Amino acid sequence: MNFGWNLGNTMDAQCIEYLNYEKDQTASETCWGNPKTTEDMFKVLIDNQFNVFRIPTTWSGHFGEAPDYKIDEKWLKRVHEVVDYPYKNGAFVILNLHHETWNHAFSETLDTAKEILEKIWSQIAEEFKDYDEHLIFEGSNEPRKNDTPVEWTGGDQEGWDAVNAMNAVFLKTIRSAGGNNPKRHLMIPPYAAACNENSFNNFIFPEDDDKVIASVHAYAPYNFALNNGEGAVDKFDAAGKRDLEWNINLMKKRFVDQGIPMILGEYGAMNRDNEEDRAVWAEFYMEKVTAIGVPQIWWDNGVFEGTGERFGLLDRKNLKIVYPTIIAALQKGRGLEVNVVHAVEKKPEEPTKTIKPTKPTETTSPEESTKPEEPTGNIRDISSKELIKEMNFGWNLGNTMDAQCIEYLNYEKDQTASETCWGNPKTTEDMFKVLIDNQFNVFRIPTTWSGHFGEAPDYKIDEKWLKRVHEVVDYPYKNGAFVILNLHHETWNHAFSETLDTAKEILEKIWSQIAEEFKDYDEHLIFEGSNEPRKNDTPVEWTGGDQEGWDAVNAMNAVFLKTIRSAGGNNPKRHLMIPPYAAACNENSFNNFIFPEDDDKVIASVHAYAPYNFALNNGEGAVDKFDAAGKRDLEWNINLMKKRFIDQGIPMILGEYGAMNRDNEEDRAVWAEFYMEKVTAIGVPQIWWDNGVFEGTGERFGLLDRKNLKIVYPTIIAALQKGRGLEVNVVHAVEKETEECWSEKYGYECCSPNNTKVVVSDENGKWGVENGNWCGVLKYTETCWSLPFGYPCCPHCNSLTKDENGKWGELNGEWCGIVADKC
């Protein structure tokens, strides 16, 4: 073995609290924010001389009840596929049990734990019985007495006994299994897999089996490598070296000196913007463990930014090594040839001032010359009916500022970490600029405030959170767009009479602070009182409500209106949005909605994912075709909105709508144009719900690839532009160029360009199905967008200017196009 890599926060992710495992057993793979695993991820690392891959895997939620504890077939199949990616490329693979909830090291639960462990490992052993020595099983991950004082301090007698007993069951189970399992190499951990004298001294290691390996984790020195609180350091100094050497000597004494093979199953040093120090540490650590014959496996959880544990090495989406100096250090420390490939290209220094490239064309003016004027702050005294006439169409920054992860994020430590906790990247101004370039001019910023404000009676919003919300609002606002700010996934404003008084109190306090923060902003900033207020977890939650729910929603809307109108600055003239019950397009909801008659700056906020089976339904009855029945359903919804609002002179905005991806871009484009034409005819702006999700089995409403700043479905954007009566001009779109049809030589046509669904893969390529026949799925390569203008694409990412075509850099004294997907 050279050195290894952990596929962290992926197959081990567990989201039982909010994922429906019965509906989709494999959705958990991406629920902690990492992309779906591909073979190419491993190939990039293999090219960089990694040859050991640990696949941390959580089985809880994926197996049935006693006595069989049968593993779900779909989950086992997916685990098998992931194991095969590195295994079939000649690498070593370690498969384990990871974040389990049933194998904590307590005597009272030990019998059940042993029973489950035996059943689970029996099934895994049977599944992989014919695999050779390149597949290693690891009995468990860091088994310990969770939530006790000895959890991370080396354990106690109860914990040691439990861990040793579970290790024994694991060894016996695999050795009793068929196929190659009696000769399989196995890994077992001491208590908590901890590099600790107590843990080591009380670890029972078999003397009669020469195919067992000790599994130890050592993030050392702690303050440099892992500590994220008081005492953390970003320098690898002499004290750090002594600490690390002490840990290595402890491992050497317990295992290597006693002839026991050992693998460092997890190690790493988190990113603190200190790549140089981490590289020095990596080389030093690797040299020391290489000298005693121990392989190391880096813990990569896919996290690069934020305040959590940032152990990412590989950008899995773009297949790039993010910290090449660290990889080079590992190679050097292991005594290998230093050769880092697939690395992120660092931006070079700007060209010297003596280089004066010729301007590409007269139309490619710098960004600054076409930038819209910033709002003045002087609010116009116009009605909402007049205001919404200025809106084209809009976009929701979904699953971002509204994300809430109170269950596992430490909000006290970092108030802004929630922005990325549902898997979307940190918001940037460029995201909005891409959409503005495509004629979007309304942006809704769904924002959850729960977890970000204090106790009664003030309910004071955290300053850092309010500052970050302000920054995000400014991105589109200062570019001349309309912005809608709201309260989103709140836990305190459900529409129940028993909680109404408290909800009104909190609502008044929160909106008073928001109104004060933005009091000088003009009519381009709109406040929306709440999002889909309803009687959660009741039979009437989504069916239009009942008297209790209607009364509660109307009462909260009234408090919201009064609060903003009583605030200072421009707030008495601010345009406000209020929803009916659940913001639902429903007759009961509409008929029981109280809308003010004495305020011409209030807008009704409605959500309509219609027709339901085409747009939103993800279960039985879902369809991927927008047919005549779908059109009738959609028209019924639009007529309902028209009758309740437009015909009564009430301005309305469709605050959320969309149709999820079902590999049906063409049908979604037809639907988008039809829907846009109909609502344009009645004067209603629409705001697409984009949650940043493009694949998987959940709600896939993504339009913008926020990381690479690309429009993923340009035909849908074109349809929106056309349906709104605007000039059709889609820019910043994903560029796809098909290759020659590779499958013709095997007697099959290639799939149509929009059909990229892979049914099966073999040594020839990826295969799909069309019209009942096999077809070859076409591969795509990025084209150089600047060639039509007479300029090559840049081999670097150093942008000098930008125009409507893209970003421009310099190469050999002439312009070159910046390739966004690489930068």
Active-site positions?
Answer: 532, 656
Phi first, then psi: give them for residue 80, nearest 5 degrees. -60, -45
Largest CA distance in the chain: 87
217 DSSP β-pair partners: 194, 266
Q: Is the peptide bond before 67 cis (omega within 30 degrees of 0)?
A: yes
DSSP string for residues in 599-632 = -TTEEEEEE---SHHHHT--STT--S---HHHHH
50-55/652-657 β-pairing = unpaired
**Contact criterion met (CB below 8 Å) for 556 and 508:** no
For 378, counting Cβ atoms within 10 Å of its Cβ (0-12 exposed, 13-18 middle, 19+ buried), the class is exposed
Amino acid code (one letter) for 504: K
652-657/602-607 β-pairing = parallel
Q: Distance from CA of residue 484 to its chain's centroid?
A: 23
The distance in angstroms from the start CA to the end CA of the chain is 34
Q: H/E element holding 656?
A: strand 652-657
Amino acid code (one letter) for 121: W
Residues 6+ apart with CB under 8 A from 39: 85, 89
Helix orientation angle between 238-254 and 275-291, rounded to the nearest 10 degrees: 30
- Dihedral, 432, 433, 437, 441 alpha carbons, nearest 10: 40
Count CB neighbours of 740 within 10 A. Answer: 7
Count CB neighbours of 519 within 10 A. Answer: 14
Helix orientation angle between 547-565 and 497-517, rounded to the nearest 10 degrees: 20
Cα distances (angstroms) measured from residue 111 to each of 115, 121, 162, 525: 6, 16, 10, 61
Taking the C-alpha atoms of residue 102 and residue 99, their distance in angstroms, rounded to an integer, is 9
Q: Distance from CA of residue 649 to its chain's centroid?
A: 41
Sheet of 766-770: strands edge to edge? 760-761, 766-770, 773-776
Residues 6+ apart with CB under 8 A from 785: 735, 793, 805, 806, 817, 819
DSSP string for residues in 314-368 = EETTTTEES-HHHHHHHHHHTT------SBPPPPPPPPPTT--PPPS-TT---HH
Using only the alpha carbons of the chain, give its radius of gyration.
29
Cα distances (angstroms) measured from residue 720 to each of 394, 664, 670, 674, 726: 10, 16, 10, 9, 9
Closest CA to 139 of 209, 213, 85: 213
Helix orientation angle between 497-517 and 463-477, rounded to the nearest 10 degrees: 60
